[in-house]
Amino acid sequence: MKKKIIIIFSIIVIFAILFLLTFHFLNLNKVQSETILSRQMMLSEVFPDSYKPYIDELKKQYPNWEFKALYTNLDWKYVIDNENVFGKNLVPKSYTDNWKNTNPGEYNVEVDSGWVDASRIAVEYAMDPRNFLNYVRVFQFEELSYNSRTNTTSSIEKVLYGTEFYNQIVEYKNSSGTNIVTDKKYSELILSAAKTSGVSSFHLASRIKQEVGPFLSHSSISGTVSGFEGLYNFYNIGATSSSEPMGAIKNGLQYAKDGKGASTATKNKYLIPWNTKERAITGGAIFIGSSYINLGQNTIYLQKFHVYDTSDDELFWHQYMTNVLAPYSESKLIYTGYANGNLLDTSMSFVIPIYENMPDLPCTSPAISASDFSSDNTKVYAKVDTSLNVRSGPGTSYEVLTSVSANTQMTRIAKGKQKGELWDRVKLENGMVGYVFQTYLEEVPDKQVEKIELSVDKTTINKGEKVKINSTISPSDAANKNLTYSSSDTKVATVSSDGYILGVSSRKRYHYS
């Protein structure tokens, strides 16, 4: 009997273990499914309040544009802490100290030739998407997939206008130094590369302009660098920072030569070696598409700041460029290409990152000195005949965020005290923050009291009795609503400063004013 009981007990234990394992497995699958679902649900059409006024204004200007909020679920301070690491974000050495890391031993240390580590406030400014939600800089958030409707050679030429790539037949030198002239233009190579890689041709053209500048003589694409003759790298892929002369360029050309340790399959995929300009432009485009855009880093912003991708890899390391303002600069190039091609009214999609616990107001640019402003909280209005521009910075070189009509009220949150033209920082009633020319602002005058109504709930006040005076002041938002009370006959009644009548004698007559 004992054996039978033991056997039955063992069977129950086994079933219990199997049940627990099954439950754990199902629960694990559920957690994994919810994780995948949360990844899919991170995109939303609903934006936080501090983003809404900028998005609404862009939608009003360009109704064919679509905006998606990318909820990263990352804490703002955590993000900045991980990006504000020495050498991860750079600025030109010629910039003012507000832009630079001034820590002892790190100040003005060249991480790359002519480039130094950025300050924390520079990183905060560059990473705060609200600073760039205007019709120009918003293109750093444009989804970068190939679009056959807008990607044409004629539109690419408009992006290339003003450079030596514009309307130019491609020629190059091979490893022997022989000059090869092709029958294709740069715009044709870029369009072909866009189709092959699935990457926007505007992005490729703008990236080339950003990385190698307007001249065909740039060392990365000259084909004449000693030891790397006949090799080309239009996107500076693999051009990691180096303090050695031309170190970054040589690193990039080394990648163009052998993939720097990449597998044979990878090198074949990227058409390495990049010993012709067509292979370099197309192979580099495939690299960008497969290494960034197709992994979820499908905007210039997300390629610069690795705060999201579709894998479970660690964040903050897979970053295409070190220039902290690269998205800011490239967005202007893309906008110009669209504007020149009369393409701004076409359908476009933008993905805007959202962080947890962001500052209430957009982070200010290091180019804007705090000493040029004094804190303020004054109601002002637009003293203009027609309309007043609200800009993204204190000057006419900054983009217009919106225009407000005459007499529109706003709050001045910082009063300008710059030399020369004075600009104030303001917050509109819809929450948008921007800058306006101080001359066109006037303080809202205080509202005056127009009417005072007094009453009491009793017509007879006995000796020693206290009764409150009820007061109603119109308008309710008048500037000075302080009342003073007095009695015309203190032998009958007195009135306290807070409006209470005290009966003094038994006579039933009293007066208050």
Q: What string of H, E and C letters represents the secondary structure of 277-330?
A: HHHHHHHHHHHHHHHCHHHCCCCHHHHHCCCCCCCCCCCCCCCCCCECCHHHHH
d(CA 375, CA 312): 44
Whether 287 shows a pLDDT value over 60: the answer reads yes
Among the listed residues 327, 344, 334, the one whose alpha carbon sits nearest the alpha carbon of residue 159: 334
User: Which residues contact residue 193 at a Cβ distance below 8 angstroms, ignoring those fewer than 6 apart?
Assistant: 199, 201, 204, 281, 282, 284, 285, 286
d(CA 405, CA 8): 85
Supply the pLDDT for residue 353.
Answer: 97
Supply the pLDDT for residue 465.
Answer: 82
Supply the pLDDT for residue 240.
Answer: 82
Whether 30 shows a pLDDT value over 60: the answer reads no
Confidence of residue 501 (pLDDT cuts 50, 70, 90): confident
- pLDDT (mean) for 389-395: 96
Per the model's pLDDT, the better-predicted residue between 310 and 256 turns out to be 256
Per the model's pLDDT, the better-predicted residue between 148 and 477 turns out to be 148
Which structure tokens are listed for 108? 């003005």
Supply the pLDDT for residue 506.
Answer: 64
- pLDDT (mean) for 362-391: 95
Among 1-15, 69-83, 234-248, 336-350, which stretch is predicted with the lowest mean pLDDT?
1-15
In Å, how far are 133, 416, 423 from 408, measured between CA atoms?
22, 20, 17
The pair phi, psi for residue 252, each rounded to 5°, is: -65, -40
Among the listed residues 23, 66, 160, the one whose alpha carbon sits nearest the alpha carbon of residue 348: 66
Supply the pLDDT for residue 124.
Answer: 98
Supply the pLDDT for residue 500.
Answer: 85
Supply the pLDDT for residue 505.
Answer: 79
- The answer to whether 308 touches 107, Cβ cutoff 8 Å, is no
Number of C-beta neighbours around residue 249 at 10 A? 22
pLDDT tens digit string along 166-187? 999 999 999 999 999 999 999 9
Whether 322 shows a pLDDT value over 90: the answer reads yes
Per the model's pLDDT, the better-predicted residue between 386 and 488 turns out to be 386
- pLDDT (mean) for 205-226: 94
3-state SS class at 92: strand
Whether 31 shows a pLDDT value over 80: the answer reads no
Confidence of residue 497 (pLDDT cuts 50, 70, 90): confident
Per the model's pLDDT, the better-predicted residue between 239 and 414 turns out to be 414
d(CA 341, CA 338): 5
Per the model's pLDDT, the better-predicted residue between 19 and 292 turns out to be 292
Supply the pLDDT for residue 11.
Answer: 43
3-state SS class at 242: coil
| Strands laid side by side in the 65-75 sheet | 43-44, 65-75, 348-356
- The answer to whether 339 touches 333, Cβ cutoff 8 Å, is no
**In the block, which residue shows the tokens 């862009």?**
58
Whether 18 shows a pLDDT value over 90: the answer reads no
Confidence of residue 487 (pLDDT cuts 50, 70, 90): confident
Per the model's pLDDT, the better-predicted residue between 100 and 500 turns out to be 100
Confidence of residue 426 (pLDDT cuts 50, 70, 90): very high
Supply the pLDDT for residue 507.
Answer: 54
Supply the pLDDT for residue 513.
Answer: 44
Number of C-beta neighbours around residue 329 at 10 A? 16
Confidence of residue 10 (pLDDT cuts 50, 70, 90): very low
In Å, how far are 489, 509, 510 from 456, measured between CA atoms?
17, 14, 12
Among 386-395, 452-461, 471-480, which stretch is predicted with the lowest mean pLDDT?
471-480
Helix segments in 84-185, DSSP class H: 120-127, 153-160
Among the listed residues 402, 278, 433, 65, the one whose alpha carbon sits nearest the alpha carbon of residue 286: 278
Q: Where are the domains of the chain?
A: 1-41, 42-109+118-143+299-366, 151-295, 370-443, 451-503
Supply the pLDDT for residue 1.
Answer: 47
Supply the pLDDT for residue 475.
Answer: 75
Supply the pLDDT for residue 340.
Answer: 84
Among the listed residues 71, 79, 170, 179, the one whose alpha carbon sits nearest the alpha carbon of residue 123: 79
Among 224-238, 285-299, 483-497, which stretch is predicted with the lowest mean pLDDT?
483-497
- The answer to whether 485 touches 469, Cβ cutoff 8 Å, is yes
Please tell me which of 410-419, 445-454, 467-476 the model is most confident about, judged by mean pLDDT: 410-419
Instruction: Say if strands 348-356 and 65-75 run parallel, antiparallel, or are unpaired.
Output: parallel
Q: Which residues of 464-482 are buried (b: 16+ CB within 10 A; e: fewer)?
A: eeebebeeebeeeeeeeee
Which CATH superfamily hosts domain 370-443?
SH3 Domains (2.30.30.40)
Query: pLDDT above 70 covers what percent of the chain?
Result: 88
Please tell me which of 16-25, 119-128, 497-506 the model is most confident about, judged by mean pLDDT: 119-128
Confidence of residue 450 (pLDDT cuts 50, 70, 90): low
User: Which residues contact residue 11 at a Cβ distance below 8 angstroms, ignoring those fewer than 6 apart?
Assistant: none
In Å, how far are 428, 482, 483, 509, 510 from 498, measured between CA atoms?
37, 10, 9, 21, 18
Burial class (CB in 10 A: 0-12, 13-18, 19+), 453: exposed
Mean pLDDT across the chain: 87
Supply the pLDDT for residue 478.
Answer: 67
